Amino acid sequence: MVCEVWGIARSTVYGAQDESEVEVMEPKKRGPKTELSDEELVKEIREVLETSDFLGEGHRKVRARLRFKGIRVGKNRVLRLMRENRMLAPVRSGHPRGDRSHSGSIKTEKPNELWGTDATRFYTKKDGWSWFFVAVDHCVSDVVGWHVAKKGDRWAALEPIRQGVREHMDGYAPNIALGLGLRHDWGPQYTAHQFQGELDWLGNRSTASYVGEPECNGVAERFIRTLKEQCLYLHDFDTLEEARQVIGEFIERYNRGWLLEAFDHRTPAEVRQQLMRKAA
């Protein structure tokens, strides 16, 4: 407590010769000391960067290379000087929250304006690792299509979209899904030429999530989490067919029984029915 009041370290007090030395002692900055000024240290940092075999070095590596030269300095000081003099290693350019091609909200006012699709893997004793694909509406959060497959390729990823279009667009034909957007991540299934080509054929615009920002696809991501907690983690599947049956039963219960707080704790099926009547 006394050291906190004085603003000095306990080791400083213990190392003092007598009480009078402690009384006049000023608190000193901790860390490695250097006799170089900021200007001199910047010159040394520039020399390290110019003589390096690599294009750009982080402040930690620069500090290590300075130590090799016998210059001991704190990493925070090196970081500050490199930042002030624009010497930090280059980083990925672009907006920190994506390119702003999205509206800024993942929820929509009406059903069938934007769907989100995503995938996850689960294990079966006989068939090994298998895939689950889903498409979820961004307004009412109901599952419009889903598919279970052993191979998680672009064709398996398309199946939930096909189911949803047939169910909610009254058919499957060119440009039948005009005005509908599909939010997906950057997995190889979704960036494949065949996947994107069929979206174009349907008139379904692709609206990919930002790189490294899965929250842009948050509706589908949230359903995947619910599926894992309420179904996949609770069952030890023997076969793929058993998993398909159990998952299908859960999705039926979800659409008709899951309560949505945003809609006054009504189910996805109830909300869709009400909003579609208003739209009609």
Tell me the pLDDT tens digit for each residue of 49-81.
898 877 777 888 899 889 888 898 988 999 999
Architecture of domain 114-279: 2-Layer Sandwich (3.30)
User: In the structure, what pLDDT confidence band is assigned to residue 82 with cuts at 50, 70 and 90?
Assistant: very high
Both tokens assigned to 36: 């170089």
Q: What is the pLDDT of residues 156-190, one digit of tens each?
A: 999 999 999 999 998 999 999 999 999 999 999 99
Query: What span, in angstroms and rounded, lies between the C-alpha atoms of 260 and 183?
Result: 21
- End-to-end CA separation in angstroms for the chain: 73
Q: Where are the alpha helices (DSSP H) in 138-183?
A: 154-168
